[in-house]
Every structure is written in structure tokens, then in C-alpha cells.
Amino acid sequence: IGVGLVGFGLFFLLFGMLLYFDSVLLAFGNILFLSGLVFIIGFRRTFTFFFQRQKMKGTSFFLGGVVIVLMRWPLLGMLLEAYGFISLFR
């Protein structure tokens, strides 16, 4: 279930970017991606991964970008998410 949710989340994110940053598709993709991540590695491990002391900057940018996309500012939100994703997984 988790791999399917992550796959659909990535599909909706890609499709939302191809359709000139459609905010509804991007928001749906973000929600599916994060819920799939929780299903794959579990709630506690997801929480401890995102909220480690050394990863707080990346987490705040990534989750802030998700909130900005949900508030229908897709371009700014995706830029914040990309920076947060890079700083989380480097």
C-alpha cells in the first residue's frame, strides 16, 4: 500500500508540474507521498527522521512548502519543497 501511495504521489506531483503547477494536483501528490512514506517506514520512524536536530532546517522548508502549496501558491511552495528535500537527503 505504501509503495503504491508513494508512486501515485510522485505521479500526481509530476503531472501537476507538467500542467503548469496545478495546485490541486500538487497538493494531492504531496499528501499521497507523505502518507505513503508513513505506510512504508512507519509513523514513529518517519517522525524521528523528519524531526532530528540536524535536519530541522530541511524539514521546516519541506513541510512549509507543502503548506504553501496547500494555500495555492504552487510555484513558491515547490521551490521551498525542493530546497527542503535537497537539504534533508544530502
pTM equals 0.89
Are 31 and 72 in a shared domain? Answer: no
Are 31 and 67 in a shared domain? Answer: no
pLDDT average, residue stretch 6-30: 95
Are 37 and 59 in a shared domain? Answer: no
Question: By residue range, what is the domain housing residue 1?
Answer: 1-50
Are 41 and 66 in a shared domain? Answer: no
Are 29 and 65 in a shared domain? Answer: no
Are 43 and 59 in a shared domain? Answer: no
Are 33 and 10 in a shared domain? Answer: yes
Q: Given pLDDT bands bounded at 50, 70 and 90, which one contains residue 21?
A: very high
Q: What is the DSSP string of 10-76?
A: HHHHHHHHHTT--HHHHHHHHHHHHHHHHHHH-HHHHHHHHT-GGGHHHHHHHHHHHHHHHTT-HHH
pLDDT at 90 > cutoff 90: no
Q: What is the number of domains present in the chain?
A: 2
Are 23 and 57 in a shared domain? Answer: no
pLDDT at 83 > cutoff 90: yes
